[in-house]
Structure 1
């Protein structure tokens, strides 16, 4: 499940953030009659279609895994979780429908109506993501049901879906999606500039997603701080693992790095009081220690701590980088001419992906040994089938095939675009007007 989710989550980010970026460049192209912006919209829409198709496959695998790998969860709490999963499926179909209309609407619809097709497509991606994240938030904040004589009763699906952690956890993921997509897409064009392509296409292709990434990178620390403070009340064991706190301390230091070896913290740099400030928004408030948690209820501390600190460290680095870029631009220093900045912009995308993965690792591993916090233990939720290794091998092969296929297709499209193709030749494809299609059919008839 970890492998499948870790692979799929990157594609899910594009479903959340990419429509907004396409909307901006498409609208710019219409309002300013900017052919460069319209060209970007066409190319990004084509890439979005490829990623959506692959994400549909990986998302289907995940839906099967929920039942196959977690019978103790879905068998018992399926009624509680059914609503968000159903709405996510509906959102997926709406997103697919409007993506199709947008892709094949070039030259066939009034321009502004065509542009408007991106709005329901983007909204559906956001709603679908909220539904999935709300399920995970429910696992951290279970509510909307009662257990009577071992049976789940009095189910309130809407209360479960809009649980106490849903909005904040979704906000964290939503902003993270814009960081991932913004830095990945801008990094692609930064790589082009590094190779000498200093044209308007590459400058606009870098700037638009980088602006989105900038806003997200500056918002994320604030949302993460609020979410982190809430962890103290809802999951103190997770907070203790985040902070590598073996005992309750007041005021608590911030420990940079370090691991827990035989119950002792080693190789950590302690910064006095900063732990209380960050975790509790106070100079003196205590941070709970692992000694307040029974041994059998403690999460894997080192994995949780290092994943959390990697996420925070990368997020801080990216936030500082965007501040430096815009300060330098304000002082009329164009960093797009600086090769060191461009190299950093290229690696910023993979760094954002790593931060996203580490954030989910910290969230999921930090909740252990519970699948549903203090309600259902992981050992009771997970499948005990001995044939799971075969299905895991099958999933690896499927995902490897999809990865190779995506790389091959995207590189092929890139080469054709670089060779001067305005659009990818495909029946009724993006940019292919009815006149173009009639001409192709005529040519085929002549042959």
Structure 2
């Protein structure tokens, strides 16, 4: 019977469970990024409005806050789906190790409720509270959003570096949830994710206003709407490069198989070159541009350092090389492109105290949000697919964690339909918000903007 069930879940149902989880996580993580980065950017806009008296900042803050409300609602839906999927699709994980990693999920739930409460206050008390109390009511939203990301990512970090328990005769004993939550992978993964969230939110928000500026050049409202979130993301981007290097060093030390797949290293060697591009064919990288000694130098700060190859790992324990290699290449390439885009603004600002005049800057900014999302998804592909075939690295195989019940394919189809509907509804509502026309002020109330906050 056990053999039969294992045969079932290693076929179509296992693939369906993995695709469903990938779809749910890939969709939810984008929404979650706005929940992490958008509150801080919105609060900065509101603060700037009070400090400068420019009503455009207030208008931006109100509209961004409304968008936050929409994204929070759909994020709650996708987050609920994920919570059910963890138990329904992966009982081998949650049923056995839930006592080990339950703490961060509980803490994330508390952060979620705090965020929901104060988001309601922030949205509906705009005209009922004085400026300072209203601004302060948004601070818990910002803190809770970052905390939610931190707690959830600690659970994933534990799956990369499982700690906080002992296993004796197949039983989990000596459980230490705090040690599990603050596992060795927690610092790098949480910082990397939170910074990525600010990049996705910042470049995504700036991209909307870049499109508007391409249509209406010189509009100060959209100029401010681009500058503020873009500046936040541009500051974060080079920091993310440093953190990414930190993460790569951690992977090199603790997950050498993942590093070998990321760089297409099939044989253990010293002085290994860094491969740019290329395709893995028949156990070797082809068509790649190789930088001599580059990988050994970047991974261990030693050009002659040894890099463990995939030949040290049984074929059944190797992740898919081409998927991980190209996901890593995309993440790094897009990351550096976004750093360059931020430098472009810095140079233009230093020269003219204004946006670069070239329309190509606005075009690049218009797609920067999509590019940041692409880098985010590519990074998570490296993290998650690079761990395969393990759900808990070195401890629990994915094929042993999945639900052995038949029919998981139907669940994947149903969830796909739900996410298509969610995507259409979310895009429709956000486009309506973006296209809304500001309400003109009465002549006696009008300032230089000519608009009032709605």
TM-score, normalization: structure 2? Answer: 0.91
Q: 1:319 to 1:210 in 2, by over 3 A?
A: same
1:47-446 correspondence to structure 2 within 5 Å:
47-332=67-352, 334-417=354-437
* Distance in 1 separating the partners of 2:49 and 2:425: 31
C-alpha distance in structure 2 between counterparts of 1:195 and 1:353, whole Å: 24
Instruction: Please state how far the C-alpha of 1:158 moved relative to its aligned partner.
Output: 0.7
How many residues were matched structurally?
A: 425
* Structure 2: distance between partners of 1:109 and 1:264: 65
Separation (CA, whole Å) in 2 of partners of 1:412 and 1:315: 30
2:344–2:356 CA contact under 8 A, matched in 1:
no
CA contact (8 A) 1:242 1:305 kept: yes
Q: CA deviation at 1:110?
A: 2.0
Matches of 2:158 and 2:287, distance apart in 1: 36
Match of 1:443 in 2: none
| Pick aligned residue for 1:26 from 41, 46, 57 | 46
Mapped to 1, the partners of 2:138 and 2:315 lie a distance apart of 51
CA RMSD of aligned residues (A): 1.7
SS state at 1:417 partner: coil
SS at match of 2:278: strand
Identify the structure with bigger relative contact order (alpha carbons < 8 Å, sequence gap 6+): 2
Counterpart-to-counterpart distance in 2, 1:245 and 1:123? 41
State the partner residue of 1:439.
none
Q: Could you tell me how far 1:281 is from its partner in structure 2?
A: 2.2
TM-aligned CA deviation for residue 123 of structure 1: 0.7
Partners of 2:300 and 2:326 in 1: how far apart? 20
Distance 1:3 1:413 in 2: 26
Deviation string, structure 1 residues 80-117 (Cα, Å, up to 9, x no partner): 01111111111111100000000011111121011001
CA 1:380–1:404 in 2, change beyond 3 Å: closer, same or farther?
same
Q: Deviation above 3 Å: which 4+ runs of structure 1?
A: 333-336, 418-422
- Residues 244-280 of structure 1, C-alpha deviation per residue, up to 9 Å, x if partnerless? 1111222111101112111122111111111122222
Does the C-alpha gap of structure 1 residues 397 and 419 become closer, same or farther in structure 2, counting only changes over 3 Å?
farther
TM-aligned CA deviation for residue 419 of structure 1:
7.2
**CA positional deviation for 1:239:** 0.5
- Describe the shift of the 1:333–1:284 C-alpha distance in structure 2 as closer, same or farther (beyond 3 A): farther
Question: What SS does structure 1 have at the residue aligned with 2:287?
Answer: strand
Aligned mates of 2:302, 2:69 — CA distance in 1: 47
Give 5+ residue unaligned stretches, structure 2: 1-20, 443-452
DSSP 3-state at the match of 2:280: strand
Following the alignment from structure 1 to structure 2, what is the Cα–Cα distance between the partners of residues 335 and 22?
Answer: 21
CA deviations on 1:187-239 (whole Å, 9 max, x unpaired) are: 11111110024222111100110111111111111001011001112111001
Equivalent-residue separation in structure 2 for 1:175 and 1:241 (angstroms) = 25
* Partner Cα separation in structure 2 for residue 352 and residue 73 of structure 1: 31
For 1:336 and 1:101, locate their aligned partners in 2 and report how far apart those are by CA, in whole Å.
39
Q: Quote how far apart the aligned CAs of 1:421 are.
A: 10
Structure-2 separation of matches of 1:302 and 1:421? 58
Structure 1 residues 419, 261: closer, same or farther in 2, change over 3 A? farther
Unaligned runs of 5+ in 1: 423-430, 433-447
Moved more, 234-243 or 387-396: 387-396
Q: d(CA) in 2 for partners of 1:197 and 1:102?
A: 32
Aligned equivalents of 1:310, 1:166: Cα separation in 2: 24
Look up the SS of the partner of 1:260 in the other structure.
Answer: strand
2:56 match: 36
1:182 is displaced (CA, Å) by 0.8
Query: How far, CA to CA, are the matches of 1:49 and 1:250 in structure 2?
Result: 53
Would the aligned equivalents of 1:229 and 1:281 in 2 still touch at CA under 8 Å? no
